[in-house]
Amino acid sequence: MRTYKLTIAYDGTRYQGWQRQTNTDNTIQHVLELSIGQLMGYPVKIDGAGRTDAGVHARGQVASVELSRMIPEKELCESINRYLPDDIRIAKVEMVPNGFHARKDAKGKKYEYYVDCREKPDVFSRRFCYHFPERLDLERMREATEYFVGTKNFTSFTDADISTAEKSVFREVFKIGIVRTGEKFRFTFYGSGFLYHSVRIIMGTLLEIGMGKRESVLLPVVFAAEDRKSAGFLAPARGLFLRKVYYQEDVI
């Protein structure tokens, strides 16, 4: 038995998210498991680092898989790609020590969110950014990002059903960066991990602040409320990319 770490890019537009589901085969995990299974000749299970929602993209999703034998990394990468549809690509395959688990061993994640504020939506980037034709104040949003940094209770910023959740609602955000290019914005989120919908709800909240509809000094009140309704809107999936997953050896 050998364990492999797969780095994966996908255009999430036509999928029901990463995670295998009982009611649909249209998930990225399922398509990957099917493809690797066809290649190997027996059913396989893979573990993904991030459970991206329906419509969310990835440039650096990571998954781990155990296979029965040693296969050269480059060969395995090319072979799997031959079985995949053209909106999912394995970018890299690395053989890793047995026991490696893409989700459990992850130390942090980087997400990117793209916003296009131009008046008209662009027909070529529309699948990969949120068209939001509003005036955004970059400095207001930058100030607001500071309120998210640190280890906090993100209950107000998730749609997860936390009443039944066994897991912690605390997460650490390391940094949120914003780069403006003309009327386009790229938001970068670095953190230990994010709760369900959390990046998209933080995004909606930052956009409301950027439009002047909300004040960043009130963000501590939003955190303290521990109530989803006190935070901003859910920004759409199409603008979101899982950019990178960090492990022990990576510098964040």
Residues that bind its own copies (CB under 8 A): 9-11, 57, 59, 81, 86-89, 91, 120-124, 126, 128
> CA 252, CA 101: separation in Å to the nearest integer?
19
Indicate the DSSP class of residue 214: S
Question: Between residues 128 and 174, which has the closer beta carbon with respect to its own copies?
Answer: 128
Q: 30 or 214, CB closer to its own copies? A: 30
Calculate Rg over the CA atoms of the chain.
19
Which residues are registered as beta bridge partners of 96?
Answer: 3
Cβ proximity to its own copies, 185 vs 223, nearer residue: 185
Alpha-carbon gap, residue 170 to 153, rounded angstroms: 4
CB of 88 to its own copies, least distance (A): 7
Concerning whether 53 is annotated as a catalytic residue, the answer is yes
Coil/strand/helix, residue 202: helix
**DSSP class per residue in 220-243:** HHHHHHT-GGGS-----GGGEEEE
Number of neighbouring beta carbons within 10 Å of residue 102? 24
3-class SS at 53?
coil
The one catalytic residue in 11, 25, 47, 53 is 53
Compute the least distance from the CB of residue 11 to its own copies, in Å.
5
Q: Which is nearer to its own copies, 119 or 249 (CB)?
A: 119
Catalytic residues: 53
